[in-house]
Structure 1
């Protein structure tokens, strides 16, 4: 009982401290300490008996294993995003979409811009940085309340694109290692779910904004608003080619190289961006350097919560919780979806949730004869639901650092679109797979 209190209390502590603005690299170990103390776990290896879990060993084991597995993907993904940004290619693609859709479709233009960049392999954080200045300009011209900008950015980045079949984002690639699938697993169902999330989520976003405008909310200008740069941008077609290169390489090599195909694909995207748009770079090597630092921060934040999960899964309460979730009556896909989503919520990371859950769940469900493609897609989509609770690194960065909003003002629409909509998408995916579609 005390262990369960520690597990739940540690998660709540992680959320509260993060919402108060504390760094994830601090809140992760601190929350893990809370879990360990209430569960009676030894704090240091020297205090533990042979084979007994301890705080430092469990935390650092989770932290380092995630870095070992995913550092190169984070590194190349961040560098690719930064070179797309520095060359103006990302802005060129976004501006082209805005021009085509027009001012009347300001919100749709932002969502589509984020979706194209995300599905092309640009890091989620970089997408938000790139599109935010244009989103701010569009919201200002349309006189829409700016507190909805984080929701528009997040909806276009972390819902119907991040976890869809073929996506180069790691949330679609982690299951491959454990299930022996491909990034295109369950693509028929994935397509249906993505269309549903896109249409329903956009309708909901527009409805929330319309209600706010009807209540008298308007755009409020701030003194520190970024000023849009007037700079020469590359041709949008030339800017799109690197995104196509990433998708093409990952498709060609996913069978032979599996997870490592993403490394080759992102490297190809970096090279293509440089070759096609090199005269537009402000500083290629500075972009590489900034991307490297961004990768270290991103993987550090994710690994910090994966480390918390490493401690959480070593306490008795975790096994009780997993057994309860995997024993849910009905389709095993339901238990898998709930388990991954809950663990992703605990860690505040979809990728971290998968990295913790799949080594435990995959063998169990594969032995039961669950279709690996169906499990891959359900796990991927469900990991993108509860992960977006307030302590999620992307949410904190987008709401506060990029958009300059408070959680109190901006999180409700973000939570609606990035928690509830993917949860509904998960339910739809389970229903479709249960009917035999895509299997």
Structure 2
């Protein structure tokens, strides 16, 4: 039996409920994407939403509709971070206790923020799905109300208010593209947009290492992945929800995937060109546009669904993004161990206008020949062509060069 889809009236009621609670987030133009696609491209900045993502919309809608008795029993949720913060904020605003189960590897800033909003945090399991099981067991044991991160009509209705805002801010929109994890955001978005503007294409994007929707849509039912592997923890979900699958299969035009390399390059572009801090999961819509994996009719809107990124992860992602774009090289040069050799090597790199970030000698590697030294270098360049010229010049000068493993 197919679940009943929510309606535009459900989303209108959620919008009324959220008045004065959420932020009407800005729609910012993207010059790089506009130039690339030949028509206007806008970014819906839910990374600037309260608690750092769109998740507060659905969490508040769900919790505000609980009865007084249900609120008195408290609420429980499971999340990698964004739903956790949304639930904690919404519960506090409605006078309810909240307990949130998060994966053991959840980013520390998300854990700290969730606690800061007043929730009790339990770290359980390696994935959101394992945390979900623990949260549901807690609900059965204590009577707390389980707040699902995506597979509930109230949650979907709350997320659908993003679609109403986009149509108000950009009435001429032709394509909307957004990241997809469990499917709550794209489900609500699709109901709002397809009801009011059925001509608008709705495109979902998943990380290649956490793409449960493509096989599910092909099979005609929700399919569980054997595992997850992506830097986009916010959309790392093993299986679509039954309710969200029903919405996506009926209303969404296409679901595509992007790699972690494409995501990291996108985060770098958004930071450099857009001055926007976005988490990996929040950037996948833009990543799909940059990678050219989807056909887009402009004007287009890409949703930046969240901005809660661990600073340590940001450092790694920026470095990875620079490397993916050919602007950051790690390599080892083998040369004779004699005075002045390092100075000559660095002078040659300087002649090529590359910038050395760090350098280290290795003299005791058993693979080195007697009288030979290995020099490990990290170098900034201006792009792939510049990197290739630098490496070619080093080899022409007689150096043995080996690129570091990614």
Same fold (TM over 0.5): no
Q: Which has the higher contact order (CA 8 A, sep 6+)?
A: 1
Larger Rg: 2
Normalization by structure 1: what TM-score? 0.24
Relative to its length, the structure with more helix (as a share) is 1
Relative to its length, the structure with more strand (as a share) is 2
Normalization by structure 2: what TM-score? 0.25
